[in-house]
Structure 1
Amino acid sequence: MVSATATGMDVLVVEDEYFLASDLSALLEEEGFSVIGPLGNMVGAFKAIADELPDVALLDINLHGEMCYPLMDELIARSVPIVVITGYDGHALPQRFESCVRVAKPYGRADILSAIDAAVAGANCRS
């Protein structure tokens, strides 16, 4: 099932676990998305968005102990929809990110596609 939003969309994938990043990227490509990344650290992610602004970003919160809140703030400031992919519950996020679309690990294909659709449709983080 191809997501209604997939055609021509660039998706930034920021995930520090190699196999999760690889599987998520493959899933997105199978659905017709163009993947930026996957990237496993903040430096790479900031470099990527300086070169090309994605249509939507899928972000793991904790990248080898570094929280990706500055990246989230930057993406929100640039009006990029965000999907938070995390093992943390919603209360672990700072209050400014409570409205972000979240997908809990472990997730399935339908979870990811629904979350992308929701984020792109406007159910998104606000600063």
Structure 2
Amino acid sequence: MGEGRKCRVLIVEDEAMISMLIEDMVLDLGCEIVGPAARLDHALTLALQAPIDIGVLDINVDGSVVFPVADVLRFRGIPFIFSTGYDARSLPERFCGSPTLTKPFSYKHLAEMFRGSLADAACTPDAFQLLD
């Protein structure tokens, strides 16, 4: 990644196989993984305390909605991307317009979302140059 530091990505996902896929994509982007968190309480702890540059948040985590985690990240000024297998139009009003990936999503779509969300960040994933 040249001179910058690696981006730290909070992954909140309760499905083990999907979490591993996202982890692989994040690592391929040259980023570090925070978590992953498969439960809301663990995700909240990480969102409150961990050094994070961006979050990838499954909307439904073990039967709970992830919106409290998104609220914490927003309060901390940390961008996040929702990932969901459901209709993104069902987001609460405060999250309308938030970056959202519909499962299943590709490496390229994730990288493009990162590029847009991390435009002003102190870190830049290595793989952005591959998108050009």
**Identical columns (%):** 27
Name the counterpart of 1:12: 10
The two structures have a TM-score, normalised by structure 1, of 0.86
Residue 101 of structure 2 corresponds to 103
SS of the residue 1:20 aligns to: helix
What residue is the counterpart of 2:56 in the other structure? 58
**Stretch moving more, 21-30 or 48-57:** 48-57
Q: Distance in 2 between matches of 1:51 and 1:77?
A: 13
Equivalent residue letter for 1:25: E
For the residue of structure 2 that corresponds to 1:100, the secondary structure is coil
1:84 aligns with 2:43: no
Cα distance in 1 for partners of 2:5, 2:106 equals 20
Show the 5 A alignment for 1:6-45.
8-45=6-43
- Structure whose alpha-carbon radius of gyration is higher: 2
Alignment size in residue pairs: 118
Matching residue of 1:93:
91
Unmatched 5+ residue regions in structure 2? 121-132
Which consecutive unaligned segments of at least 5 residues does structure 1 have? 123-127
TM-score, structure 2 length as denominator?
0.83
Point out which structure has higher relative CO (alpha carbons under 8 A, 6+ apart): 2
1:49 to 47, 50, 61: 47
Distance in 1 between residues matched to 2:86 and 2:118, nearest whole Å: 22
